[in-house]
């Protein structure tokens, strides 16, 4: 087992236990995460939750090998209204949070207080295929917020919806967002990648249990302060592990003038006209990247002159909710 760390580059490292019982991924992102944070001033507990979701979205995206975007959202009923992270198949990430403007958020506030104050918080995963067939809707799973932290909420979702035993360890602060994902592979009759005797089903289960115990020794502080290669050695030095070519997540916002225009069409002519009346133009800032889009009277008239039905123009991920 040897990994060459690439200094300064965000990295997702996939690996598999050579006895084919467990696969895993480490993620270490800093530049991408700082790009997200440079556009907003979030209180520390919100940064932590959003950063953990960023790590988790990239880990799941690489794990599901789905050709499209994963949009992970937590809709909250407390001081935090929404956390949203989007990650595409190339590990392009963007993320944002919406906070009640009147909220006072304590430094030690955690997920249940921030997002599930009245038990009405929801966790939503949307899989939006890159090449949609006409009329094809994205897949969307919505579950109650079951868990006291981001990792547990996702583990419970994966077990219920995908029937996959998945464990996540996540951490984020002002500089880094890191995580480890372990997943139990379906028993394949004991075939291994190396020249050893086939595993029995019990042995495969034992490997999974051992991997989870090793993962559980990982404390958040350690995850925040240690690079992937050191963590791999520290946790799994006794295991036979194969690592894959590292992948490199990066920040990328998919907003365009056309998409913002479609959103204005969704708002409706009356609403847009009233803003025009009041301000002489309509200005919209992208929640994810801060890009400013401006529409004057002529632009707005053109938006509403198009014959195409609004429904056909909206990206389906936004049309769903």
Instruction: Pick out residues in 120-179 that bind Zn ion (CB under 5 A).
Output: none
Least separation in angstroms between residue 143's CB and Zn ion is 28
Nearer to Zn ion, 39 or 184 (CB): 39
Least separation in angstroms between residue 259's CB and Zn ion is 9
Tokens, residue 138: 């994205």
Measured in whole angstroms, the distance separating CA 196 from the mean position of its chain's CA atoms is 37
Name the E strands within the chain: 11-17, 22-29, 68-75, 80-87, 92-99, 122-129, 139-144, 166-172, 177-184, 241-243, 250-251, 282-285, 292-295
Least separation in angstroms between residue 284's CB and Zn ion is 10
CA distance 263 to 140: 20
For 92, phi and psi rounded to 5 degrees?
-80, 125
Angle at 65 between CA 246 and CA 167, to 5 degrees: 80
The greatest distance separating any two alpha carbons of the chain, rounded to the nearest whole angstrom, comes to 77
Least separation in angstroms between residue 255's CB and Zn ion is 3
Instruction: Pick out residues in 268-307 that bind Zn ion (CB under 5 A).
Output: 286, 288-289, 291
Least separation in angstroms between residue 126's CB and Zn ion is 18
Least separation in angstroms between residue 252's CB and Zn ion is 9
Nearer to Zn ion, 169 or 288 (CB): 288
Least separation in angstroms between residue 113's CB and Zn ion is 30
Nearer to Zn ion, 113 or 291 (CB): 291
Told to check if 85 binds Zn ion by CB under 5 A, we report no
Supply the Cα-derived Rg of the chain in whole angstroms: 22
Nearer to Zn ion, 208 or 295 (CB): 295
Nearer to Zn ion, 289 or 301 (CB): 289
Give the closest residue to 99 by CA, choosing from 76, 67, 127, 123. 76
Nearer to Zn ion, 1 or 263 (CB): 263
Instruction: Pick out residues in 220-259 that bind Zn ion (CB under 5 A).
Output: 253, 255
Give the closest residue to 88 by CA, choosing from 119, 59, 118, 67. 67
Nearer to Zn ion, 16 or 85 (CB): 85
Number of amino acids touching Zn ion (CB under 5 A): 6
Per CB under 5 A, residues contacting Zn ion are: 253, 255, 286, 288-289, 291
């Amino acid at each position: 087992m040897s990994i060459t760390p690439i200094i300064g580059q965000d990295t997702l490292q996939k690996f598999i236990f050579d006895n084919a019982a467990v696969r895993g991924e480490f993620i270490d992102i800093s530049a991408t995460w700082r790009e997200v944070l440079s556009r907003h001033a979030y209180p520390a507990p919100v940064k932590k939750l959003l950063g953990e979701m960023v790590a988790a979205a990239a880990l799941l995206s690489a794990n599901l090998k789905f050709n499209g975007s994963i949009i992970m959202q937590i809709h909250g009923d407390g001081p935090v209204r929404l956390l949203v992270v989007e990650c595409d198949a190339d590990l392009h990430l963007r993320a944002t949070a919406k906070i009640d403007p009147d909220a006072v958020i304590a430094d030690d506030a955690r997920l249940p207080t921030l997002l599930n104050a009245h038990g009405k918080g929801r966790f939503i995963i949307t899989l939006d295929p890159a090449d949609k067939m006409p009329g094809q809707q994205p897949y969307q799973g919505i579950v109650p917020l079951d868990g006291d932290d981001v990792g547990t909420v996702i583990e419970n979702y994966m077990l219920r919806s995908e029937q996959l035993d998945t464990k996540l360890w996540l951490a984020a602060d002002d500089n880094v967002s890191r995580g480890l994902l372990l997943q139990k592979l379906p028993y394949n009759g004991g075939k291994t990648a190396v020249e050893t005797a086939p595993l029995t089903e019990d042995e495969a289960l034992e490997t999974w249990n051992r991997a989870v115990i090793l993962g559980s020794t990982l404390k958040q502080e350690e995850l925040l302060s240690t690079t992937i290669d050191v963590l791999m050695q520290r946790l799994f030095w006794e295991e036979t592990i194969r690592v894959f070519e590292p992948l490199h997540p990066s920040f990328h916002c998919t907003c365009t003038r056309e998409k913002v225009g479609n959103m204005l069409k969704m708002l409706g002519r009356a609403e847009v006209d009233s803003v025009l009346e009041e301000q002489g133009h309509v200005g919209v800032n992208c929640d994810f990247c801060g890009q400013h889009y401006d529409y004057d009277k002529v632009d707005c008239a053109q938006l509403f002159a198009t014959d195409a039905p609004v429904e056909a123009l909206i990206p389906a991920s936004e049309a769903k909710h």
